[in-house]
Structure 1
Amino acid sequence: MLTVLAVVLVVSGALIAGAVWGVYGKLSGRLEGFLVALAGGALLLSVTSELIQPSVERGGLFPAMLGVAAGAIVFTVCDYLIDEKWGEKSGGGLLAAITLDGIPENLALGVALIGAGGLEVAALAGSILLSNLPEAAGGAREMADSGRAKGKVVGLWAGTALLLSLAAIAGYLALDTVGEEALAIIRCFAAGAVVASLATEVFPKAYREDSHLAGVATALGVILAFGLGSLGGG
């Protein structure tokens, strides 16, 4: 349990650090785009290798396919409703979108930690951490630019970090006794939601901010995730 708490603390703490960076520091659009693409590449490989592939091996191909498709559909519908209700550029919409994106990521992290040591989920945890930093920095900066008080913006992101930490811990505790086939579907549902968020939120943003190097940064993210995964498997 101490390993779980340590991993969750580091991953969620990146949201607060990113928010502080975005509100009080300097973050150019091109650097933000590069970092977002880097994190997206790492996260895409991680959910594939750490969640989908093991689920196919242990639970079968068809349940895994259903889980991925269901997760992607649910995320897409919720993301659409958020855009319709709050608008893509509003502070509430940004925060809601990050929360919607982060819940499946952290649920997946919690599920992945079941029966695993810290190194075995290094790729997934590291990729989520890399994703959280630029996402929080960009979102917090847009909130501050829209007129919100800087302290309130950081407080909102701290609350989001707490919520996502609870999602990861809940994923670990509540699903610890679930059967392997059901666990495979849950892992793939979370993976499908993350993949959909990458396609609709992460990579488009990365390309808008840094169209020339977004592809290179994504490839570097994949390489980084491979390296982290090798540590976990070694």
Structure 2
Amino acid sequence: MLTMAITVLVVSGALMIGAAWGIYGRLRPGLEGFLIAMAGGALLVSLVTELVEPSIEESALPVALAALAAGAIVFALVDYWIDEKIGADSGGGLLAAITLDGVPENLALGVALIGAGAPEVAALAGSIFLSNLPEAAGGAREMKEGRSKAAVLGLWAATAALLSAAAIVGNLLLVGASPHLLATIRCFAAGAVVASLATEVFPKAYKEDRNWAGIATALGVVLAFALDALGGG
């Protein structure tokens, strides 16, 4: 329970730190793009090593791949609905997209914590932290147009609470679940995150910092492998 509390606090805290940075601090577009690309590279490697590969070992390969594809399809459909109905550049659209990304991430994090110690989840938690921080900073910076700083910070606080709840639900309600079910959930979450990287993270990183986005992504990959080694992967 202590490991779960600390991990959820660290991961969701990144949203509040990033939001405060975006609202009250200065964030140059180039720096934002660099950080987002680095976070995307770290998260891509981490979701493969911490979610997909263990799930394939615990379940049938066709089931794992089908769940992965389903997660990507669901994210893509909902993301399309957000773009059409809410607006990709509106505050509500940004918040909805990050929430949709974060819920499966944190649900998977809660599942990964079942029967695991702190070192074993360091890679996944660290990568999600790196992803949440620049996403929240960029989103909050755009959302503060036409809104008070307190209102924007309150929205991000509510989002952090929701994502924390997802991790707790994943950890508490799925204790004793079959390895096949847990593997399916992990792969579904991984598919949603892969789709979000392709449609939200890397395009934004390249737009803001096209000269260094590739290097930043590679740096994120190196960082992810370092975190994976720390977790004993």
**What TM-score bracket applies, with the shorter chain setting the length?**
over 0.9
Aligned to 1:64: 64
Classify the secondary structure of the residue corresponding to 1:233: coil
List structure 1 runs of 4+ shifted beyond 4 angstroms. none
Q: Which residue identity lines up with residue 17 of structure 1 in the other structure?
A: I
In 1, the alpha carbon distance for the partners of 2:75 and 2:172 equals 23
Q: Which residue identity lines up with residue 189 of structure 1 in the other structure?
A: F
1:185 Cα offset (Å): 0.7
Q: Superposed, which structure 2 residues align to 1:1-234 within 5 Å?
A: 1-144=1-144, 146-233=145-232
Tell me the C-alpha RMSD between the 2 structures.
0.8
Residues 106-129 of structure 1 show CA distances to partners (whole Å, capped at 9, x for unaligned) of 111111111111110111100000
Classify the secondary structure of the residue corresponding to 2:231: helix
Query: TM-score scaled by structure 1?
Result: 0.98
Residues 47-87 of structure 1 show CA distances to partners (whole Å, capped at 9, x for unaligned) of 00000000111112111101100100011111111111110
In the alignment, structure 2 segments of 5+ residues that lack a partner are: none
1:178 Cα offset (Å): 1.0
In 2, the alpha carbon distance for the partners of 1:140 and 1:150 equals 9
In 2, the alpha carbon distance for the partners of 1:118 and 1:67 equals 27
1:174 Cα offset (Å): 1.1
In 2, the alpha carbon distance for the partners of 1:36 and 1:176 equals 33
Residues 144-200 of structure 1 show CA distances to partners (whole Å, capped at 9, x for unaligned) of 1x2110011011001100000000111111111210111111110001000110000
Q: How many residues are aligned here?
A: 233
In 1, the alpha carbon distance for the partners of 2:183 and 2:109 equals 13
In the alignment, structure 1 segments of 5+ residues that lack a partner are: none
Query: TM-score scaled by structure 2?
Result: 0.99
Q: Which residue identity lines up with residue 146 of structure 2 in the other structure?
A: G
